[in-house]
Amino acid sequence: MHISKLGRILGSACLAGTFVLAASGAASAAKPAGWTMTAVPTPSVVHNGANAGYVVTISNSGPSNISALYLDTADSPTYVSGPAGACSTPGVPLHCSFGALTAGSSVTVTVAYATPSSGTKFSEQFLSNTTGATTSDQGGDSHGDNKTATGSTTLTTDKNFAGGFAIDRESVGTDTSLGNKNVQATSVTPPESGVVATVQDGSGAGTFTCTGCTKTLFGEWSKVTVNGGLPSTTLFPVTLLVYGKSLPKDATVDTIDLVHVLDNGTTEILSTRCGTDPSPNCVTVTPVGSNFRITGWVYQNGGFKGMG
């Protein structure tokens, strides 16, 4: 009786021990890495033929590390910016090899692609994988998995809109065929490459309020977007070419100013004439036939309009 009872006690203890060990082993098993990828169009609208930019971000939420990570596209980008030495250069299909991506970390690449001269939509598909190949085990455990993300950009042929993602410092501008139906053309030269640079003239520019303006406003409001609205460390020029017949009759080269309404609503009136080297918020006014070219040098985007 005593031996039998002891056996039952030991047997129960062993079973309990087996359960505890099994539970401990399951708890210590490594969990797969949870990872995501997004491709955000930058900007969301570009003019046909301009460059469409995308910010691609791959994030590893953990708890495990990803030992090797790759990113590819079938098309050849015109601009690539990412971790040093990780990605191919522009002009060939995109291929990035990031190495390991630890739990809680992310990696970001900014790329741009030339858009067609026709059509209303441009899309680019990005493929990320953990083997360097395009196959997947569909298991979600980061061992051979791949993920896709598609960035889609709206295209427009609107003559009052210009620009997209700037791959260089080339000026972008709206239609310069001035007349009664198009009284203003606006252009901007981005301060650097790898930023958004767009211009919108007329009714599509939005509503701006000039505070402290004592002269007559003329032309159209123009919305200039550079680098997402972030102030630049480098001055850049914004130029309005205004149809002469739209100006007040008493406006002259000496009386014309440029109004700049910042994104926060602050109004800056550019009246100080530029010297040989442009200074912040200076302006130049030049006759072009019967029209006028007004150029202001600023550090950030906003709404622009002539005043005289």
- The DSSP secondary structure of 109-174, one letter per residue, reads EEEEEEPPSS-SEEEEEEEEESSSSS---SSSSSSS-EEEEEEEEEEE--TTEEEEEESSS--EE-
Q: How confident is the model at residue 132, as a pLDDT?
A: 62
Average pLDDT along the chain: 88
Inter-CA distances, 202 with 148, 161, 291, Å: 39, 9, 18
Q: Which domains does the chain have, with CATH numbers?
A: 34-156 (2.60.40.1530), 161-307 (2.60.220)
Helices and strands, counts by H and E, the chain: 1, 21
In this structure, which amino acid lies at residue 142? Answer: S
Two structure tokens written together for 209: 């309020």
Q: Using CA of residue 41, residue 59, residue 78, residue 94, what is the dihedral sign? A: negative
Q: Is 238 exposed, middle or buried (0-12, 13-18, 19+ CB in 10 A)?
A: buried
Q: How confident is the model at residue 91, as a pLDDT?
A: 98
Two structure tokens written together for 84: 């040093």
Q: How confident is the model at residue 133, as a pLDDT?
A: 56
Inter-CA distances, 231 with 43, 116, 137, 276, 294, Å: 17, 31, 46, 23, 21
Q: Using CA of residue 24, residue 143, residue 123, residue 229, what is the dihedral sign? A: positive
Per the document, the length of the chain is: 308
Which residues, in sequence order, are bridge partners of residue 204? none
- Residues in the chain predicted with pLDDT less than 70, given as ranges, are 1-33, 132-144
